[in-house]
Amino acid sequence: MKIITVIGARPQIIKAAAISRAIADKFDGKIHEIILHTGQHYDDNMSRVFFDELNVPKPALNLNVGSDAQGLQTAKMLEGIESAIQHEKPDAVLVYGDTNSTVAGGLAASKLGVPIIHIEAGMRSFNKAMPEEINRIVCDHVSTLLFCPTDSALANLNKEGFNLNSQPPYSIDNPKVYHCGDIMLDNALYFAELAEQKSTILSDLNLHENFVLATVHRQHNTDNPDRLQSIFKALLQLIEGNDRTLVLPLHPRTKSKLESALSKDLRERIEQASNFKVIPPVSYLDIIALESNADLILTDSGGVQKEAFFFKKPCVILREETEWVELVENGNAKLCGADEKLIVHATDELLNRSDFTYPPFYGDGKAAEFICSEILKHIPC
């Protein structure tokens, strides 16, 4: 069985670690995986660090598309992936999540009649202004094997007309929808101990206790100066005048917008606050060391919302909606958008609560193994 795995953005390189590890451990010699990196993310701390640290096989091919307008970036990927598929003739193309790299992989493979395996299928925000929502919907509807991480993802696909009881042989016209848990949980469980042993980020940043972690990168926040200003005002309010520390590993998209979006006064106050620690993006072992030791996490990231839950931390979601609805329904997370007052209020409220529960929404940490065995059963080669 030969598959091409298309990755490009930071979270996809991390997700690829789970499947590549399962292949190496349990399916060596049965699945031959060729990694194709689109080059959507390219800074060392957004790409290379994850290959090195998480033992993801080096990409056989890097399209080096870099950053561009949505359409142009996707078009460049489409061209490169199409020619890679024509050259390698894989039995299937595997894609993760909802980025432009995902949709490019899905479109290129479907037009060549190659089956698509979509991991993290069925997620919906019901907000088509997000580029990711379009990417997910398109990719799901050209896939043959769809691996859903949650109950709600399965229900979303059911509502869109997918037959949850389809029978083999599976194809683009008769797809198979699975509920298999989340490979991000596989990774969090697998790497947590290693992070504890190897990461020095807590001592490097002189963090002991009483700190919160934040990440911000969603286009809806970064590309709207009012929203970005409001989020940063709230983050500053959380630490001004007390001994709490805030750590913010800054995504390059957000970094590029800060200067123009934030008022001079706000920037100066942030720069002067020694307990407002803005740092470059960190490695996976470092972020999970931060996540598992923080008191609370504020984020607009999909992956970080779930990791907050994996590490039993409350989460303030810097969005109006989430695809991971069970986190909100179960009270582990609160949707606050970019509203300064709501963010500050929800942070206080969540920090003062201790009655959280952690049902097994995301499976048992063995999703990758299950996915590989189903690929072997149902993709003809």
Catalytic residues: 217
Q: Is 177 in the site for ligand UDP (CB under 6 A)?
A: no
Considering only residues 218 through 257, tell me which ones interact with ligand UD1, judged by CB under 6 A: 219, 252-253, 256
Q: Is 57 in the site for ligand UD1 (CB under 6 A)?
A: no
Query: What's the min distance (Å) between Cβ of 206 and ligand UDP?
Result: 18
Rounded to 5°, the CA angle 48-49-55 comes to 90
Specify the amino acid at residue 38.
T
Q: Is 307 in the site for ligand UDP (CB under 6 A)?
A: yes
Q: How far apart are CA 166 and CA 122, in angstroms?
A: 16
Burial class of 317 by CB neighbour count within 10 A (0 to 12, 13 to 18, 19+): buried
Q: Is 301 in the site for ligand UDP (CB under 6 A)?
A: yes
* Cβ neighbour number for residue 334 with a 10 Å cutoff: 18
Which one of 7-15, 67-75, 255-263, 312-320 is the stretch in contact with ligand UDP (CB under 6 A)? Answer: 7-15
Q: Is 90 in the site for ligand UDP (CB under 6 A)?
A: no
**How far, rounded to the nearest angstrom, does the alpha carbon of residue 56 sit from its chain's CA centroid?**
16
Q: Is 158 in the site for ligand UD1 (CB under 6 A)?
A: no
Q: Is 14 in the site for ligand UDP (CB under 6 A)?
A: yes
Which one of 3-11, 196-204, 347-355, 361-369 is the stretch in contact with ligand UD1 (CB under 6 A)? Answer: 3-11
Query: What's the min distance (Å) between Cβ of 338 and ligand UDP?
Result: 16
In the complex with ligand UD1, the residue whose CB is nearer, 41 or 233, is 41
Q: Is 287 in the site for ligand UDP (CB under 6 A)?
A: yes
Q: Is 215 in the site for ligand UD1 (CB under 6 A)?
A: no
Query: What's the min distance (Å) between Cβ of 8 and ligand UDP?
Result: 11
Q: How far apart are CA 219 and CA 198, in angstroms?
A: 33
Q: Is 11 in the site for ligand UD1 (CB under 6 A)?
A: yes
**How far, rounded to the nearest angstrom, does the alpha carbon of residue 145 sit from its chain's CA centroid?**
20
Q: Provide the residue count of the chain.
A: 381
Q: How far apart are CA 38 and CA 76, in angstroms?
A: 9
Are residues 367 and 180 in contact, defined by beta-carbon separation less than 8 angstroms? yes
When CB distances are held under 5 to 8 angstroms depending on the partner's kind, the choice from ligand UD1, ligand UDP, none that residue 365 binds is none
Which of these, 372, 352, 234, 224, lies nearest to 299 by C-alpha position?
A: 234
Q: Which residues pair with 116 in a beta bridge?
A: 93
Inter-axis angle of helices 302-310 and 284-293, nearest 10: 50
Are residues 80 and 38 in contact, defined by beta-carbon separation less than 8 angstroms? yes
When CB distances are held under 5 to 8 angstroms depending on the partner's kind, the choice from ligand UDP, ligand UD1, none that residue 253 binds is ligand UD1
Interacting residues with ligand UDP (CB under 6 A): 10-11, 14, 215, 217, 249, 281-282, 284, 287, 301-304, 307
Query: Where do contacts with ligand UD1 occur on this chain (CB under 6 A)?
Result: 9-11, 40-43, 46, 67, 98-100, 131-132, 217, 219, 252-253, 256
